[in-house]
Structure 1
Amino acid sequence: KKRFFSILQEEKRIPHKYTELGFSTFISKQDNDNHVYVKEDDVIILQYRRQEEDVIKAKVVIGYVIKVTKRLLQEREDVDRQFAKFIEVIPHARVNFQVLVKSSPGKAIIGRYGKVRVVTSVVSAMRIFKSVYRLKDSLLQPHILKPTKKLYRIPPVAKHALCAKGFLNKEQKKAVLEASVMCLGDLPGIYLIQGPPGTGKTTVILHIIQEILFQPNNSSHRCILVVAPSNGAVDELAIRIMGLKSKFAAVRRKLKLVRMGPKNVVHPKVQDYLLYEIAKRNLHAELMNTVSQSNLKVLQSKYKTFVELRELANNSSADNTIIYKLNSAKLEFEKACKRNTGGSYNEQVRKHEEKLLSGAEIICTTLSSCAGLRMEEVFARTSNNNITCCIVDEATQSNEQETLIPLILGVNKIVLVGDPKQLPAVTQTKEAKDFGYGKSLFSRIMSNFPSDEGNPVQLLTTQYRMHPEISRFPNTVFYNGKLTNSNSVKMRKSIFSSLKPYLVFNFDMEAIMNSQEYSNKAEILCVLKLLNALNQKLASSSNFSIGIITPYNHQRTKIREELELRSFGSNVTVNTVDSFQGQEKDVIIMSCVRESTNNFLTDEQRLNVALTRARHALYIIGSSSLFKSSGIFVLLKSRFQLLNKDYNGLTEQLIKCKAVPSVKAGITTVLI
């Protein structure tokens, strides 16, 4: 964790044996942009000077940050140059923070430098605590604590044409209608949508958003909070929502989308929609209309330079010099704007942020961040701003306490979208898992309705991703045969049609590897052979994607190293099972790594994710002992086509192509 030097400004004794220490420091523009500084609810290690009797001692304590204020510096503002030089920072902003520590004898030496290291942030834990504490005041309390058929009964919805155009199957349309009617109704409620792999749950979410916002005769302002457990999942949704811009324009509406979060964790495609970035742009535009004529010319000149460089930088061939000049021009323009705000730049940006949130129709952020200070200020129970509904994507990947965080904002209508058959929330300890801490709100509510009769969960059953041969096994084993293949995947013709859709490479690795290893060189070599064969067969097209899934980080690292040595293209992605949830690739190669001790792959939820990422072809590499001893893999062996042939035959089966090395040795010998 980064260390910060700060100047001790004040010491204040408070009741209950605690002391409040006030510090001040400078941060650079880069740290400001990336939100790298001390924040409220940080736990820190603090070193400062205390005088006890006649002795000055260095004191090292644990502290809890209770308040932080940050202010951007004006261009000619007087700053402590000696301190700035000492901490080796070009001052861009001043950060003042108050720290709570246990009281100690003596007194702190004011004006001396202190050293701070951030250990962790407990902001998410505090929000979870607050959400659970406030559950008693929520209109959704009975829905959450005691789910009943009466509370979750879905009244009949009159069928009508949807506001947004686009094909939806029967179940998707039913989910859109029922969810949107609940969200626009007067009663509190929770609606659950289970979306197995490839069934179009994101499409359903997009249509729910449009159905709520595009309703005719809609005079009241509507705001939809769209959240997910991770920034990656939020950005995936935000990018899809950005794609609705033309549909909003068609009904003469502006896409009022705001993305909350630090810039450094947000996808570049989404950064233009960041709250802070939009607020700055709006303030700058306002200044252009209000400043004096002489200052306007300066602003216009700097803005023109910035726009010209931005157009050059958008060119894919732009070099680093252009990017550097663009960033410099942007900084110069912002400095000129700050000079014209009379020292109130931060305050004016904050006002624009509040105005944007009040007028936003779609707010995207993570579950843990959705009830931040700015959101609480705008959507507090005492304000006139209300959130129409909250849509939680990947709802089964968050624990129940996290899913309650939107309740802090007074949310009383929630749409939960997820799949209990896929990855659950991550729990750090076995004890927490045993006590059900990792169980999602979605899963617990669903468990209250074990039979199909009265079950309020809307299951999407038509899958549009996988070749029918690929979907057969997960459909039978994980979804009790309820999934059907769409006509589009049944009739699909492409360059992949000549590939075998489903193969298992089953060979004896007992003599190759140690059972304690978390990487497997033989499988890596097999992966490379498969990639070469695929590239040979698909050489006529550059527009295809391959994913390599493995349970272990070590195997992932080793495969990536081998791919870099051989200069494979960017169309090949290597990652662990957990990182592949929500993704799909044309071809998936799965490296199981270990033998019968492979406990990781006996986790049905993770295995379901791994087996359902492929559109056209899925190739599994594993040992013979794994397919004999692991329950789920015994089923795999009985249902999949297994190959244990020589390399020449294997490649011919794979790509139906005779232009292969004339190798007659067994596959194990060839791959070692």
Structure 2
Amino acid sequence: MYQSPVPFLIYGPPGTGKVIVSLTVVESVHQILRTQPEAHILLCAPSNPATDTLAQRLGVSLKPGDMLRLNDQNRTFAEVPDPIRQFCYVENDRFALPPWKSLMSYRVVVTSCLDANILVEALLKKHTMMSLHPHRIMKHQIIPHWTHLLIDEAAQGSEPELLVPISVVLTRTDLFDGDQSHSEIPNTTSACYHPLATTPQLCLCGDPNQLGPIITSPEARNYELDLSLLERLFGRPLYAQHPEARHASLPIHQSSVCAPFKPFVNLVKNYRSDPAILMPASALFYNESLEPCASNGLISWQGLSNNKFPVMFLGCDANDESVDERATWFNLGEIEHIFNVITSLMSEASKSFPTLQPEEIGVLAPWREQVWKVREKLRQASLSRVDVGTVEDFQGREKRVVIISCVRSSARFLSEDKQKGIGLVFEKKRMNVAITRAKELLVIIGNGNLLKCDPYWKGFLQFASRNNLYVGPELNIEDDGAWISRLESKFAQVDEENGLATHTGLRNTMMLAGGVVREVLREDF
């Protein structure tokens, strides 16, 4: 990772994935430590589990004297995985901040974004970390203590949350007491604003197209606090108008950005999903940039309407119902469909390779009440090992088989859902997470005639209709050629060349209309 005056962004879509991106972060840390002996790295993630994962992967090659896993004093020992306890500092049977001399000796400090506040508070108490750690001067530049800040899963943290660790590495002059000048503090200078100071390198990793920070306050959402710093940065011209940007709209000769300078990297290889499962997500959300590289097993199921595509949209127009004055929702008709699909799959489990196990099936729903009722139904049938949860529960996870229950069937509540940021309609990030969890089989259960009012669901339904993947009540939808991926076009072309498809103009529609309409929809939505 080269030193850059702007944040360096790593764009990691689904399946490139939680493991691959975090390994990329870990490898970046190793490269920095190997090539920059003076480097001191602050490594963060929004949640403790994600932070522990980073610490565990680094702990394989680092010694306890090189890395500190900093925890809040109220965190219990039971919450911390055994392999990383040796990297934690404990005092009086509680997690604590090491003495300053010890803290300054660690080459890597790993902590959650919020727990980085421990360092902020310590900095305020001591005026500045620089007062206790003399600056190193290299080639006439002032080098601050923290040379790098890397934040993994940055799209899941709110901007104020990420500003906590950022405020640690970017020391401000106004953190000093107003009545004490800098010259009175020995061995210190303002690293952030001094003309010779080197700015620490900031690196953010994540996917702005997946679920962001959880913000329940409507007022906060109105002020876009549900917009992550990563997503906001990717929207800036420096990144968005770069000719190699994932959603680049300008050709190189029209771009105002110098092509050689690239402050980001796009991960494109998907190691999770079957190509047919990846098609719609790649076209809808990633400008067709994802490459299928998965090496999976095979689900054998007679319920599929098209054996070439392990995808099914099962139409269901059953009524949705609410509890607690519309606080949460469920759909009994969809629950019955879920049960039938799972029992059918398990009856043929031995035909799959390898044999399908109940715990390899995941059921996703946008409302907790639906989750509880599905669990109850499956428990009664001795299928409690099937994993059932909300879409948020499954972010960063994968299953061989994923069944999505959309629940919503009443159009009159869509505006309320949209205002609250709940459900799967008009929530493209939640939809994206839901449809990208499956490795070998994806089944979606919902009211297609309701979902089609959402342009992204309409695109998915057109994909399902074109490829004979929709089963259920008549779907009144016109295929306008939108959101057709190059991969889907290639499938159709192969079928035509092998005489497996009639020449109905489908290929021409895919190759010509798809790209044009897709760009129009992107501008509108």
TM-score range for the pair, normalised by the shorter chain length = 0.5 to 0.7
1:194/1:458 contact within 8 Å kept: yes
CA deviation vs aligned residue, 1:231-253 (integer Å, no higher than 9, x gap): 233234334444xx1x559xxx9
- Is 2:46 the partner of 1:203? no
1:475/1:481 contact within 8 Å kept: yes
- Cα deviation for residue 195 of structure 1 reads 0.9
- Cα deviation for residue 538 of structure 1 reads 2.8
- Cα deviation for residue 420 of structure 1 reads 1.4
Distance in 1, matches of 2:73 and 2:97, equals 18
CA deviation vs aligned residue, 1:465-505 (integer Å, no higher than 9, x gap): 1111111001111112122222xx2xx35243668521111
- Is 2:485 the partner of 1:485? no
CA deviation vs aligned residue, 1:14-70 (integer Å, no higher than 9, x gap): xxxxxxxxxxxxxxxxxxxxxxxxxxxxxxxxxxxxxxxxxxxxxxxxxxxxxxxxx
1:549 corresponding residue in structure 2: 364
Gaps of 5+ in 2: 135-144, 171-199, 244-256, 305-309, 418-422, 474-525
1:643 corresponding residue in structure 2: 471
Distance in 1, matches of 2:84 and 2:122, equals 16
2:296/2:439 contact within 8 Å kept: no
1:594 corresponding residue in structure 2: 408
**Greater fraction of residues in strand:** 1
Residue identity over aligned pairs, in percent, reads 26
2:318/2:332 contact within 8 Å kept: no
- Cα deviation for residue 355 of structure 1 reads 6.0
> Aligned ranges for residues 326-337 of structure 1 at < 5 Å?
none
Gaps of 5+ in 1: 1-179, 281-344, 646-672
The verdict on how the C-alpha distance between 1:259 and 1:277 changes in structure 2, with shifts beyond 3 A counting, is closer
> Aligned ranges for residues 360-509 of structure 1 at < 5 Å?
360-372=106-118, 376=123, 380-384=129-133, 386-411=145-170, 412-449=200-237, 450-453=240-243, 454=257, 456-486=263-293, 489=294, 492=295, 494-496=297-299, 501-509=310-318
- Is 2:379 the partner of 1:567? no
1:371/1:408 contact within 8 Å kept: no
TM-score of the two chains, using structure 1 as the length reference: 0.51
SS at match of 2:117: coil
Tell me which amino acid in the other structure corresponds to 1:436. E
Distance in 1, matches of 2:50 and 2:455, equals 32
CA deviation vs aligned residue, 1:614-639 (integer Å, no higher than 9, x gap): 11111101124324433322222211
SS at match of 1:562: helix
The verdict on how the C-alpha distance between 1:637 and 1:410 changes in structure 2, with shifts beyond 3 A counting, is closer
The verdict on how the C-alpha distance between 1:472 and 1:255 changes in structure 2, with shifts beyond 3 A counting, is farther
TM-score of the two chains, using structure 2 as the length reference: 0.64
- Is 2:404 the partner of 1:584? no
CA deviation vs aligned residue, 1:542-594 (integer Å, no higher than 9, x gap): 59622211111111122223333333354x32221122221122211101011
> Aligned ranges for residues 145-544 of structure 1 at < 5 Å?
180-182=1-3, 188-199=5-16, 200-215=20-35, 219-220=37-38, 222-242=39-59, 245=60, 247=61, 256-261=67-72, 264=75, 268=79, 270-271=81-82, 273-274=84-85, 278-279=89-90, 357-372=103-118, 376=123, 380-384=129-133, 386-411=145-170, 412-449=200-237, 450-453=240-243, 454=257, 456-486=263-293, 489=294, 492=295, 494-496=297-299, 501-510=310-319, 518-539=329-350, 540=355, 542=357
SS at match of 2:10: strand
> Aligned ranges for residues 117-128 of structure 1 at < 5 Å?
none
Q: How many residues end up aligned between the 2 structures?
A: 382
The verdict on how the C-alpha distance between 1:273 and 1:618 changes in structure 2, with shifts beyond 3 A counting, is same
Distance in 2, matches of 1:498 and 1:223, equals 53
- Cα deviation for residue 526 of structure 1 reads 1.8
How big is the alpha-carbon RMSD for the aligned residues of Structure 1 and Structure 2?
Answer: 3.4
- Cα deviation for residue 541 of structure 1 reads 5.3
- Cα deviation for residue 201 of structure 1 reads 1.7
- Cα deviation for residue 275 of structure 1 reads 7.7
Distance in 2, matches of 1:211 and 1:397, equals 25
1:549/1:589 contact within 8 Å kept: yes
2:211/2:392 contact within 8 Å kept: yes
The verdict on how the C-alpha distance between 1:351 and 1:476 changes in structure 2, with shifts beyond 3 A counting, is closer
1:395/1:416 contact within 8 Å kept: yes
Which of 1 and 2 has greater Rg? Answer: 1
